[in-house]
């Protein structure tokens, strides 16, 4: 959870003044020891710069030292070099000017790994799996560094991003390589403002059930959620399935505003406690909302963290919604983000947050953070809590501190709502389904360079046994060791993922998500629990708890 701040020249002057005051006062000894530490650091840096076998980048050394210092504190305090800090601000701001694609350099090729719907790249027919071979007529593989060496990795990626971005309305010429085509595909794409969506799917599941997937939290999340809820209500929504699975969090204020959409005015949402001034804050619902009594089921999983845990924790503590899925990640540390110098940034933990029932849901960590950071890779088992962890919701239901938000109704589904074998998870992790889908639809996508005799992959297609056989053959060409028993156990998961990625390639994320929801075991389980969510609302009323803004 991050709040924003600035480490300005004035702040630096205050620090210097504090050091001088310390030298003249009772803390002179401690300050002198600190100055000795600074001298030791600068001496070590000077020795490396003067004597190391190769010429070194001093900035990289200093940045590494700062990062190492922060790693002694907790898993979430971190240093951001200027590039990463700018990317973080861009993500949180929710927009930039460009084409609307995400790229990744793989074996020297610049691959398109995702697109945002409605963007210039999407409209012009660029799709996942395309390789950008030329920009402005220049072969990307001909680009070199000052020493004449071919650009690779992050350096090449940064160069490509810089060439693709630019002023709104200007054109960029790109040439694409695509499986199934012998010639490069040349496209001229106009640059435009790209809004990074945090709400990635909104639709009616049936005549009365709305669905919203909040992928992460950014500065426009509450605004976009408000628009989505209005559209769903206009289409007859009487109850809502709110999907926070895989949501890593974001700005604190957005978690508060999203919670406010579903809680009566005056409800406590979260409170923070820390050591610095202004870190002790209580945050309540300050706005009236028309969605405070709509039956609500919230989907979470082991990668739901931070802001998504604030929302699900507040709704659970106030018995406002039924939480379904897996125990969430367990991050209850608040980071304040400071711009320190030369465009670099520092995310420093400055407070802990607590849910309305006084739960601290932060999981403990080991000295290396390994167990903590690898939490999502392990199978979940029900926890046994000490009596000191027990808390109660508004109507008296038991909830617990320590280690994430535990669901009211549990069903494991770490991969898109499914719980596949290790073999299936490996296929998902190495993007085997997406790669297969890209090759499969190369024969069916007629938006760019259609060829005579192409078959069309139409809406409503099915992943039949023949397609499954093709996928097995594809895995063989990719040198994937087949596990026949696991393949059979994961058959429904494999079909669903192939369908999802073909939908993504041809028809967009919203349609892909809609079709996947009908197969998603976790989501289908949640859909059966609306009667229980309605009973929860009745319990609130019977206890005399405020349920709306009247």
- How does pLDDT run across 90-100, given as a tens digit for each residue? 766 666 788 98
Average pLDDT for residues 79-88, to the nearest whole number? 80
Active site residue 331: yes
Q: What is the DSSP letter of 19?
A: H
Q: Does domain 95-195 have CATH number 2.40.160.20?
A: no
Sorting pLDDT into bands at 50, 70 and 90, what band is 442?
low
Give the per-residue pLDDT at 254.
96
Whether 129 and 112 have beta carbons less than 8 Å apart is answered as yes
Question: What DSSP string runs through 456-510?
Answer: ---TT----HHHHHHHHHHHHHTTPPP-HHHHHHTHHHHHHHHHHHHHHHHH-HH
pLDDT digits 0-9 by tens, 209-221: 999 999 999 889 9
The mean pLDDT value for 527-537 works out to 96
In this prediction, residue 114 carries a pLDDT of 79
> Which residues on adjacent β-strands are paired with residue 322?
297
Higher-confidence position of 190 and 550 = 190
Q: pLDDT tens digits for 411-440?
A: 999 999 999 999 999 999 888 998 888 778
Annotated catalytic residue: which of 306, 312, 336, 401? 306
Mean pLDDT throughout 374-382?
Answer: 77
Q: Is 111 helix (H, G, I), strand (E, B) or coil?
A: strand
Catalytic-labelled residue, pool 331, 401, 408, 520: 331
- The whole-model pTM stands at 0.83
Asked if the domains 95-195 and 199-334+350-414 are classified in one and the same CATH topology, the answer is no
Closest CA to 346 of 30, 62, 17: 62
Name the residue ranges covered by the structural domains of the chain: 2-76, 95-195, 199-334+350-414, 422-519
What's domain 199-334+350-414's architecture?
Alpha-Beta Complex (3.90)
Per-residue confidence (pLDDT) for residue 68, from 0 to 100: 87
| Residue pLDDT, tens place only, 228-282 | 999 999 999 999 999 999 999 999 999 999 999 999 999 999 999 999 888 999 9
Q: What is the pLDDT of residue 19?
A: 28
At residue 447, the pLDDT reads 44
Retrieve residue 427's tokens: 């296929």
Of the residues 130, 317, 501, 520, only one is catalytic, namely: 317
User: Which has more confidence, 26 or 504?
Assistant: 504
- In the DSSP assignment, the letter for residue 414 is T
C-beta atoms surrounding 170 within 10 Å = 12
Predicted local distance difference test score (pLDDT) of residue 12: 31
User: Quick check: is 306 catalytic?
Assistant: yes
């Amino acid at each position: 959870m991050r709040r924003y701040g600035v480490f300005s020249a004035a702040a630096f002057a205050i620090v210097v003044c504090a050091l001088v005051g310390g030298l003249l006062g009772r803390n002179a000894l401690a300050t002198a020891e600190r100055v000795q530490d600074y001298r030791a650091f600068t001496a070590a840096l000077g020795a490396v710069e003067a004597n190391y076998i190769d010429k070194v980048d001093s900035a990289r050394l200093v940045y590494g030292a700062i990062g190492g210092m922060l790693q002694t504190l907790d898993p979430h305090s971190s240093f951001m070099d200027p590039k990463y800090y700018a990317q973080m601000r861009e993500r949180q701001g929710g927009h930039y000017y460009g084409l609307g694609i995400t790229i990744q350099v793989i074996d020297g090729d610049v691959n398109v790994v995702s697109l945002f719907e409605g963007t210039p790249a999407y409209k012009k027919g660029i799709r996942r799996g395309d390789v950008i071979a030329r920009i402005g007529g220049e072969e990307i593989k001909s680009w070199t560094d000052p020493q004449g060496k071919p650009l690779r990795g992050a350096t090449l990626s940064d160069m490509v991003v810089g060439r693709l971005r630019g002023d709104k309305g200007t054109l960029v010429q790109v040439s694409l390589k695509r499986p199934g085509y012998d010639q490069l595909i040349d496209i001229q794409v106009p640059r435009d403002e790209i809004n990074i969506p945090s709400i990635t799917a909104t639709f009616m599941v049936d005549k009365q059930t709305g669905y919203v997937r909040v992928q992460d939290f950014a500065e426009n999340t509450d605004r976009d959620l408000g628009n989505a809820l209005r559209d769903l209500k206009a289409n007859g929504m009487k109850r809502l399935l709110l999907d926070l699975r895989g949501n890593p969090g974001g700005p604190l204020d957005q978690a508060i505003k999203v919670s406010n959409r579903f809680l009566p005015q005056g409800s406590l949402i979260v409170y923070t406690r820390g050591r610095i001034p202004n870190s002790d804050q209580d945050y309540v619902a300050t706005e009236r909302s028309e969605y405070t009594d709509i039956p609500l089921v919230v989907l979470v999983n082991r990668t739901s963290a931070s802001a998504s845990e604030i929302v699900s924790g507040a709704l659970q503590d106030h018995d406002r919604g039924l939480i379904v899925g897996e125990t969430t990640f367990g991050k209850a540390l608040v980071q304040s983000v400071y711009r320190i110098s030369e465009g670099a940034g520092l995310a420093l933990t400055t407070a802990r947050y607590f849910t309305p029932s006084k739960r601290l849901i932060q999981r403990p960590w080991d000295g290396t953070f390994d167990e903590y950071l690898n939490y999502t890779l392990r199978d979940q088992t029900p926890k046994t809590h000490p009596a000191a962890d027990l808390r109660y919701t508004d109507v008296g239901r038991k909830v617990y501190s320590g280690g994430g938000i535990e669901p009211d109704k549990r069903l494991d589904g770490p991969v898109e709502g499914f719980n596949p074998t290790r073999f299936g998870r490996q296929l998902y992790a190495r993007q085997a389904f997406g790669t297969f889908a890209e090759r499969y639809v190369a024969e069916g996508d007629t938006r760019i360079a259609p060829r005579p005799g192409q078959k069309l992959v139409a809406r409503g297609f099915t992943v039949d046994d023949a397609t499954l056989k093709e996928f097995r053959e594809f895995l063989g060409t990719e040198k994937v060791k087949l596990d026949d028993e696991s393949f059979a156990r994961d058959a429904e998961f494999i079909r669903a993922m192939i369908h999802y990625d073909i939908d993504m390639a041809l028809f967009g994320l919203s349609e892909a998500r809609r079709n996947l929801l009908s197969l998603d075991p976790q989501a289908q389980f949640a859909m059966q629990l609306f009667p229980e969510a309605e009973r929860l609302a009745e319990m609130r009323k019977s206890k005399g708890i405020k349920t709306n803004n009247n």
